[in-house]
Structure 1
Amino acid sequence: MFRRKRSGGLLPVYGFTIAGVVLILDQLSKYWITQILDLDAGGPGAQVKVLDPIFNLTMVWNRGVSFGLFTADSLWQRSVLIGFSLAVSAFLVVWMTKTTRALQALAFGLIIGGAVGNVIDRALYGAVVDFLDFSGLYFPYVFNIADAGICVGVALLFADLLFNSDDARR
């Protein structure tokens, strides 16, 4: 008979914990930027110099997709982005419950936490709060913890695919 492959036991718990940590850190950092430092009051581009010129905190309302690409100014465009992010997150939640590899659980957790963090911003404010500015290192985009979680998570999925796939083990 066909046997169902066993899931990784505690791996989904590990992945959901990572997602929760990313989500909490993301939302707390955005609260700190907008409410405590009140960078939003300074208008777009308001800045706190941290390690100038390498790293600064720069307030940006990102109305687009990743790194401000493809702006979504209207309600229906934001709704599409929210729906897409939630659909991808749901797909990854299902996949995570079946994973047997820790690297995948970590990657899924990072992506899910980041996606949900940015969904919360879009739903509450109509845009995502971005503030991590490494333009002194010639990285032209301002981003946030959620974005970093998504990017690192995707990179880890590629690493898992390259090094942990059945073909790579042969």
Structure 2
Amino acid sequence: MTPQRAGVIAALATLVVDQATKLWVYHIFDIAARGVVEVTPFFNIVLVWNRGVSYGLFQQDGALGRWLLVGLSVIAAIVLAVWAWRARTLLASVSLGLIVGGAAGNAVDRSIYGAVLDFLHFHAAGFSWYVFNVADAAIVAGVAGLLYDSFVVERRQDTPGEN
């Protein structure tokens, strides 16, 4: 499989899984009516509408801000998709595909609901992680993959005798 094909598959799979989980948790599981659902002592399913960007920064309550964030997400997804298509390694292409799929998933939410639906909440020993969704997890995994590809894989390829 070519890196380009793998990147496209990663993007589409991320988008589909992200949207499927959000549709399920909101419309079928009906998290809005249930409130906080404790799944384990360290994991809850909750409903949080994120009108900002990562970690709730730059909250946008108006239509202009909402559509600016949608536009920014679409532009970022296009730029990253082009980068993924040109990527030299499978890891870089898949990592970029994860980011593209995540950005697209969150842009779909903003377009439909006016905010991103976050619902996964991990916490332990008084520490509470941010509430997130599959798209957010894919974006973080994609960034981690890009960093690994940039600092470890690229270095190995550039070092003579270490391939």
TM-score, normalised via structure 1 length: 0.87
Of the three residues 8, 25, 42, the one matched with 1:16 is 8
The alpha carbon displacement at 1:96 in A equals 1.3
- Map 1:1-170; keep pairs closer than 5 Å: 10-42=2-34, 46-52=35-41, 54-136=42-124, 138-165=127-154, 169-170=158-159
What is the root-mean-square deviation of aligned Cα atoms in Å? Answer: 1.6
Supply the AA of the counterpart residue of 2:116.
Answer: V
The alpha carbon displacement at 1:34 in A equals 0.5
The alpha carbon displacement at 1:169 in A equals 2.5
1: CA distance, partners of 2:77 / 2:98: 11
| SS, match of residue 129 in structure 1 | strand
TM superposition outliers: structure 1 runs of 4+ over 3 Å: none
1: CA distance, partners of 2:69 / 2:31: 25
| SS, match of residue 50 in structure 1 | strand
The alpha carbon displacement at 1:73 in A equals 1.0
Residues 19, 105 of structure 2: 8 Å contact kept = yes
1: CA distance, partners of 2:22 / 2:73: 19
2: CA distance, partners of 1:19 / 1:11: 12
What is the count of residue pairs matched by the alignment? 158
TM-score, normalised via structure 2 length: 0.91
Gaps of 5+ in 2: none
The alpha carbon displacement at 1:40 in A equals 1.8
The alpha carbon displacement at 1:37 in A equals 1.0
Per the alignment, residue 5 of structure 1 pairs with none
| SS, match of residue 124 in structure 1 | helix
| SS, match of residue 87 in structure 2 | coil
The alpha carbon displacement at 1:166 in A equals 5.5
